[in-house]
């Protein structure tokens, strides 16, 4: 644990113009946490700006206020907070505006957090960044039904709907307090975990039938190439969650999803079963994440990358 909720409250109380930044390729935790904090700060009379370096994935546009995210036009703010970012480069093209702001803070829950601000509130044991944002907002006494729905959506995303080993007693205590605001928890879970459009379904069936298995079925990999996206009318953001189909196979200990971003440039997602550490594998490529879920970018030909990552898994079996 780095820093505490008091440091963030003190930081927020001293600023009027506050910019909130979530990471590139945002997920439900980054978006829900950032939007909840924004609502609480607006209720407290602050002027709030919301930044992300790419568009909100269609899947998460149900989160109230998601249309408020933009790319920074102002060069600097009085205060800036990064949400759910384990390192500065996770801010992507927003990094410059973040660094230009006079005071900076970070709220995060990655064990691999690399300290890049003076003020921090980081707990690598929280299942979602939203657990920490919940504490901040509760201390501000600003919880309400809208904020509760956003935080619940964030926790549901990062906790695998309360199924991951990162889930603690505290995760459930927070979730139950959020439900007490009368939110439609089942509907939020449906939107985050179940609902899919037909194009994404077609991409999924196409990719899963090409899944590759190594090391006696203990290592699995799927590869999304430009032609797969073109054939199904989908894009990178719609690949989210498909890797879980692999790690859910009994024999699989390490699962990979390799997604083509540009020619010879891939996003690598990693899922592992304990004790194999996903973040440690991601580290080999300059990435990071959690014990059982991590990611990074890798350059090269897919065949070479596959060979490399299968070896990294084999060495850890
Ligand atoms: Mn998160």
204-214 pLDDT, tens digit each? 999 999 999 99
- 278 with 166: CB under 8 angstroms? no
- How many A from CA of 266 to the centre of ligand 1? 21
CA distance 128 to 169: 13
Question: What is the CATH classification number for the domain harbouring 250?
Answer: 3.10.310.30
- How many A from CA of 65 to the centre of ligand 1? 19
Same domain, 216 and 184: no
Mean per-residue pLDDT, 22-31: 95
C-alpha 114 chain-centroid distance: 16
Question: What is the CATH classification number for the domain harbouring 108?
Answer: 3.90.1640.10
Tell the burial category of 162 from Cβ atoms under 10 Å away from its Cβ (0-12, 13-18, 19+): middle
Mean per-residue pLDDT, 66-89: 94
- How many A from CA of 240 to the centre of ligand 1? 14
- How many A from CA of 151 to the centre of ligand 1? 11
Q: Which residue carries 């900076």 as its tokens?
A: 104
- How many A from CA of 161 to the centre of ligand 1? 13
Same domain, 85 and 18: yes
Same domain, 135 and 277: no
What's the domain range around 165? 2-193
- How many A from CA of 300 to the centre of ligand 1? 28
Same domain, 145 and 241: no
- How many A from CA of 231 to the centre of ligand 1? 31
- How many A from CA of 303 to the centre of ligand 1? 30
CA distance 259 to 64: 29
State the number of CA atoms in the 13 A half-sphere of 92 facing the CB: 15
For residue range 212-227, what is the model confidence (pLDDT) as tens digits? 999 999 999 999 999 9
CA distance 219 to 208: 14
- Domain boundary residue, one of 129, 163, 193: 193
For residue range 98-119, what is the model confidence (pLDDT) as tens digits? 999 999 999 999 988 999 999 9
Cα dihedral sign, 170-171-172-178: positive
Same domain, 153 and 208: no
- How many A from CA of 130 to the centre of ligand 1? 8
- How many A from CA of 26 to the centre of ligand 1? 9
For residue range 258-309, what is the model confidence (pLDDT) as tens digits? 999 999 999 999 999 999 999 999 999 999 888 999 999 999 999 999 999 9
The number of folded domains in the chain is 2
- How many A from CA of 216 to the centre of ligand 1? 32
Angle at 259 between CA 53 and CA 221, to 5 degrees: 140
Same domain, 177 and 261: no
- How many A from CA of 215 to the centre of ligand 1? 31
- Domain boundary residue, one of 193, 208, 223: 193
- How many A from CA of 28 to the centre of ligand 1? 8
Exposure pattern of 273-294 as b/e (b: 16+ CB <10 Å)? beebbbbbbbeebebbbbbbbb
Report the predicted TM-score, pTM, of the whole model to 2 decimal places: 0.89
Cis peptide before 275 (omega within 30 of 0): yes
Same domain, 31 and 173: yes
- How many A from CA of 154 to the centre of ligand 1? 8
Q: Which two tokens stand for residue 176?
A: 């139950």
Q: Which two tokens stand for residue 59?
A: 């899947």
- How many A from CA of 84 to the centre of ligand 1? 5
The pLDDT value given to residue 45 = 98
CA distance 168 to 270: 22
- How many A from CA of 82 to the centre of ligand 1? 12
Same domain, 213 and 304: yes
- How many A from CA of 24 to the centre of ligand 1? 12
- 128 with 113: CB under 8 angstroms? no
The mean pLDDT of the chain is 96
Angle at 269 between CA 266 and CA 273, to 5 degrees: 150
- How many A from CA of 160 to the centre of ligand 1? 11
Same domain, 210 and 65: no
Reply yes or no on whether the pLDDT at 178 is more than 90.
yes
Q: Which two tokens stand for residue 134?
A: 């919940």
- Domain boundary residue, one of 160, 193, 226: 193
Same domain, 218 and 248: yes
Same domain, 67 and 171: yes
CA distance 293 to 278: 6
- 98 with 121: CB under 8 angstroms? no
Same domain, 131 and 172: yes
């Amino acid at each position: 644990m780095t820093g505490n909720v008091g440091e963030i409250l003190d930081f927020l109380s001293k600023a009027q113009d506050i910019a909130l930044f979530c990471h590139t390729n945002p997920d439900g935790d980054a978006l829900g946490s950032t939007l909840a904090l924004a609502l609480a700060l607006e209720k407290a009379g602050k002027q709030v700006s919301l930044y992300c370096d790419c568009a909100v994935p269609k899947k998460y546009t149900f989160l109230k206020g998601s249309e408020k995210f933009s790319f920074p036009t102002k060069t600097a703010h009085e205060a800036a907070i990064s949400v759910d970012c384990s390192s500065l480069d996770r801010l992507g093209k927003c990094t410059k505006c973040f660094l230009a702001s006079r005071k900076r803070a970070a709220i995060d829950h990655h064990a691999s957090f690399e300290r890049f601000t003076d003020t921090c509130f980081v707990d690598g044991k929280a299942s979602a960044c939203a657990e920490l944002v919940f504490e901040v907002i509760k201390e501000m006494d600003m919880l309400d039904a809208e904020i509760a729905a956003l935080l619940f959506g964030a926790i549901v995303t990062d906790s695998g709907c309360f199924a991951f080993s990162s889930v603690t007693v505290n995760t459930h205590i927070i979730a139950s307090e959020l439900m007490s605001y009368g939110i439609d928890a089942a509907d939020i879970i449906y939107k985050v975990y179940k609902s899919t459009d037909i194009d994404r379904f077609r991409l999924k069936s196409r990719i899963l039938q090409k899944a590759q298995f190594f090391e006696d079925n203990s290592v699995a990999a799927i590869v999304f190439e430009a032609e797969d996206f073109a054939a199904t009318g989908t894009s990178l953001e719609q690949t989210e969650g498909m890797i879980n189909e692999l790690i859910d196979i009994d024999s699989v200990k390490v699962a990979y999803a390799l997604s083509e971003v540009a020619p010879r440039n891939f996003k690598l997602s990693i899922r592992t079963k304990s004790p194999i550490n996903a973040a440690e594998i991601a580290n080999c490529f300059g990435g990071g994440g959690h014990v059982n879920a991590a990611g990074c970018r890798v350059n090269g030909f897919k065949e070479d990358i596959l060979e490399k990552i299968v070896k990294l898994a084999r060495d850890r079996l």
